[in-house]
Homo-oligomer: A and B are copies of this chain.
Amino acid sequence: MTKKIPAATVRRLPTYLRYLEEVGIGVGTIGSEEIAAATGGSAVQVRKDLSHLRYSGTRGVGYDIDLLARAIKKALGLDRTRRVALVGAGNLGTALAGYTGFAATGFDITAVYDKNPRRIGALISGMAVRNVEDLVADARIAPYEIGVIATPVGAAQAVADAMVEAKIGAILNFAGVTVKVPPEVVVRNVDLSTEFRILSYYLSR
């Protein structure tokens, strides 16, 4: 177990990494000023964030892009592939299943599930949609680490329960409703209407 990284830093490290991947790994060095400009933060904050990593930059020079990217990956546990189960084969699920791009490597969406018989068996990104009732049994054979909920509101809690039963440790919930899970399961919620409403507040001032 490595040293704990502050939550705010954990949220920003992926953005830094994404930028490093964009400029291209193995292309020399980069300064905190450039990373900050590209990711919308301040240079001090970038340096403070990066100070939690095992790797340090070189004063007067900057950070070696390759080594920095590796250090961030290591710190975020991105040095291994994680199996992902996606539940919900509607428009959103289809969009998520088709998600590629360099930043998505390391997350292997192994199967897509749905409960609608019309969708079960259909092909999405080359995968035949499976019955959500098979999720727990499938996980016994090959465990999932991450579950993605891309169902309508009404189905979300049942899906979360199944994911917990399948011993999934982290859930990404797009369903627009808070799901209840045991405290050891990590949940992140992404909801369009919540985002709109937050923006609305800042528009109105």
- Residues of A whose CB lies within 8 Å of any CB of B are 1-2, 4-5, 10-11, 13-15, 17-19, 22, 38-40, 75-78, 82, 84, 90-92, 94-96, 98-99, 101, 103-104, 106-107, 145-146, 153, 169-170, 172, 176-178, 180, 186-205
Residues in B neighbouring A205, C-beta threshold 8 A: 1-2, 4, 77
One of B5, B77, B82, B91 near A91 (C-beta < 8 A): B91
Residues in B neighbouring A194, C-beta threshold 8 A: 14-15, 18, 103
| Number of identical monomers bound together in the oligomeric complex | 2
- Expressed in whole angstroms, the Cα–Cα distance for A102 and B79 within the complex equals 41
**Given known A195-B188, A204-B76, contact A39–B101 (CB-CB < 8 A):** no
Nearest CB in chain B: distance from A145 CB, A: 6
